[in-house]
A and B are shown apart, each in its own frame.
Chain A
């Protein structure tokens, strides 16, 4: 799509685009190219030279149990975060839509966690679930459930999931509420007159109408769980205990920044790039379709 009436200019449009393109080239394309190039190289033990090794870095990471563990953690973490954040949000949004009076107030009271940084959200939940100082952590230990997320990997995973999902519910809530409020009242009334019970009404009428929103949000939530939760994990568990909460993003950071493993980190970056490209493609393909509705 483009305008019929346009300005003439030879140098001006390029000048206007220059700042964006320079930053994009220097800080996006050059490093991304370096990551792809570096994924085929390996640094010797002293970091003096880099040799071409073909696909060996990829073969190595894909046969590394630690990497496969991180893949598995990412799958568990992302699906748990996405589905719990979506489930809670749709439930609350349906309630807020029903309680027409005051739905504005509930919106205000539910959307602010969006503004809390992932790392800060992590620390808030740390205060609650810390085994010695946390109210809930001490409570669990008090009633005989041994709770220490610094030792127990499953508990650590549960905690990062809670901290990450808590923040994302607000985002989903805003979109679900907007989606619900765009459903014509007459449709809901018709279903009610037909005698459909509320639960049935939800699954047969409301949910299908919300399906496009839900699918879009599912992709957004997965992207969030993949890429925006580094702060959550870093502040809460540092990927531990052991490797229990090391996701793919966290592993790139650990291998690249802490272990200075150049080739492995670059290969992991390339794998992640492929994942983002796939997710973005799904998202945009889908949005194209939504426009035609």
Chain B
């Protein structure tokens, strides 16, 4: 009897030791992973605080220098145009354009998808399934596969070089419509019945019942779509040649000239930091909604 207990105890201790070791190992591996993931950002952040010659020589330091204010002011106000880089669009303007584009795309997609999902779920009308499938099929037609003809449409409609041209074609959304449809189907029939008995029409029901119930879904989707809009690359590259409409992600890559010696690396690095700050902040500050949005839209 006593032997077995002692044995059990020893076994339990061994298991515990093994588990502790494996947990310790897990923390070590994860710590390393975090460092590896953060390393490119760290170098960029540090680089944005040194002067152009330090970086140009290739002596990238691992700790901050004293030129942060100068670099960020130069990027913010002039895009570093005074000496070398040729783009010459102040970063504040590019950030403003990106912010407009991202918010308008996110809000537009949400509004349009809410309406169409509401129509598909709460009404019965001829062609209902056809409409649903037409929206669904757009999933299979990303901009990248229809570049030239879409560009021709934009030219014909005189939408190039305009904020409307940047936003409107990206506002249709199959994913958001599917998500809202899925959610609306879970709203109990009794709610609709009650609304009907109270004499509330469909628009009233939408405003007073459906919208308030959808708030968390809207928030989650907004986070995902804001990032989607902010990070657009091919579309602004095609549609915008006017410097006043340059967005920060595209503008930053345009600041990197082909002749490396000419690059004002410190200002480019400061611009890169400013370009990723808003979407990263949104993900970290709204992490709960972000994860929800990500996992829900993929269902």
Residues of A within 8 A of B (CB): 1-10, 12-14, 16-17, 19-21, 23-24, 26-35, 38, 88, 91-92, 95-96, 98-100, 102, 106-128, 130, 132-135, 138, 166, 169-171, 174-175, 178, 192, 198, 216, 220, 227, 230-231, 234-235, 249, 252-253, 256-257, 262, 265-266, 269, 272-273, 276-277, 280, 287
Selected contact of B131 from candidates A21, A91, A118, CB within 8 Å = A21
6 nearest A-B residue pairs (beta carbon): A231-B233, A34-B149, A117-B231, A31-B149, A16-B119, A115-B279
CB distance B55 to A99 under 8 Å?
no
Of all chain A residues, the one with the shortest Cβ separation from B253 is A235
**Interchain Cβ contacts under 8 Å between A and B, 20 examples:** A4-B189, A16-B123, A19-B112, A19-B116, A30-B149, A92-B30, A96-B30, A108-B284, A109-B38, A114-B294, A124-B43, A127-B47, A127-B60, A133-B55, A134-B60, A252-B144, A257-B147, A257-B148, A257-B238, A272-B145
Q: Which residues on the A side are within 8 Å of B65 (C-beta)?
A: none
Q: Which residues of B contact A13 (CB under 8 A)?
A: 119-120, 123, 125, 128
The docked-state distance in angstroms from the alpha carbon of A178 to that of B298 is 13
B262 at the interface (CB under 8 A from A): no
A123 contacts B256, CB within 8 Å?
A: yes
With A116-B276, A171-B294, A230-B233 known as contacts, the answer to whether A16 contacts B118 (CB < 8 A) is yes
Of A6, A138, A216, which contacts B124 at CB under 8 A?
A6
Partner of A21 from the list B26, B134, B171, B238 (CB cut-off 8 Å) is B134
Instruction: Provide the residues of chain A in CB contact with B151, threshold 8 Å.
Output: 257
A106→B33 CA distance, assembly (Å): 9
Contacts A9-B123, A120-B252; is A35 near B131 (CB within 8 Å)? no
In whole Å, how far is A8's beta carbon from the nearest beta carbon of chain B?
Answer: 8
Known contacts A27-B150, A133-B58; is A20 also within 8 Å of B141 by CB? no
On whether the beta carbons of B237 and A234 are closer than 8 Å, the reply is yes
Question: How long is the Cα–Cα vector from A172 to B96 in the complex, in angstroms?
Answer: 31
Q: Which of B1-47 contact A (CB under 8 A)?
A: 15, 22-23, 25-27, 29-30, 33-34, 37-41, 43-44, 47
Among B26, B131, B290, chain A packs the most CB atoms within 10 A around the CB of B26
Per the bound structure, the CA–CA distance linking A235 and B258 in Å amounts to 11
Interface centre among A8, A9, A117 (most CB of B within 10 A): A117
Max chain B CB contacts within 10 Å: which of A2, A32, A98, A116? Answer: A116
Q: How far is the CA of A107 from the CA of B196 in the complex (A)?
A: 46
Closest residue to B227 on the A side, CB-wise? A115
Residues of B within 8 A of A32 (CB): 141, 145-146, 149
Total contacts A to B, CB within 8 angstroms? Answer: 298
Please state if A110 and B37 are interface contacts (CB–CB under 8 Å): yes
> Which one, B60, B135, B205, contacts A7 given CB within 8 A?
B205
Majority SS of interface residues in chain A? helix
Q: Which of B115, B140, B149, B299 contacts A20 (CB 8 A)?
A: B115
Q: How far is the CB of A42 from chain B (nearest CB, A)?
A: 14
Near A by CB (< 8 A), chain B positions 143-202 give 144-153, 157, 168-169, 171-173, 177, 185, 189, 192-193, 196, 201-202
* Chain A proximity of B121: nearest CB distance (Å): 6
B280 at interface by CB-CB < 8 Å: yes
Note all chain B residues with C-beta closer than 8 A to A110. 30, 33-34, 37
Residues from chain B with a CB closer than 8 A to the CB of A116 are 231, 276, 279-280
B238 nearest CB neighbor, chain A only: A257
Q: B101 at interface (Cβ–Cβ under 8 A)?
A: no
A102 CA to B24 CA, complexed, in Å: 12
Told that A17-B116, A17-B120, A99-B30 touch, could you supply 12 new A-B pairs with CB distance under 8 A?
A5-B196, A6-B123, A10-B125, A13-B123, A19-B116, A31-B153, A91-B29, A102-B27, A106-B33, A112-B280, A234-B233, A235-B256
Scoring A7, A10, A234 by chain B CB atoms within 10 A of each residue's CB, the highest score goes to: A7
Q: Assuming the A-B contacts A17-B131, A265-B147, are A95 and B29 also in contact, with contact meaning beta carbons closer than 8 angstroms in the complex?
A: yes
CB of B56 closer than 8 Å to a CB of A: yes
Contact B139 A280 (CB under 8 A): yes
Chain B residues positioned under 8 Å from A91 (CB to CB): 29
B279–A20 touching, CB < 8 Å: no
* Complex-state Cα separation, A6 to B22, whole angstroms: 56
Closest chain A residue, CB of each to CB of B231: A117
Chain B residues with CB under 8 A of A216: 298
Contact of B283 among A12, A23, A114, A138 (CB under 8 A): A114
**B74 CB → nearest A CB, Å:** 18
Most chain B beta carbons < 10 A, residue from A20, A115, A118: A20
Q: Who on chain A is nearest to B193 by CB?
A: A5
Least Cβ–Cβ distance between B92 and chain A, in angstroms: 18
Whether the Cβ atoms of A20 and B113 lie closer than 8 Å is: yes
Q: Are B148 and A27 in contact (CB under 8 A)?
A: no
Report if B225 contacts A (CB, 8 A).
no
What residues of chain A lie closer than 8 Å to B43, measured between beta carbons? 124, 127-128, 135
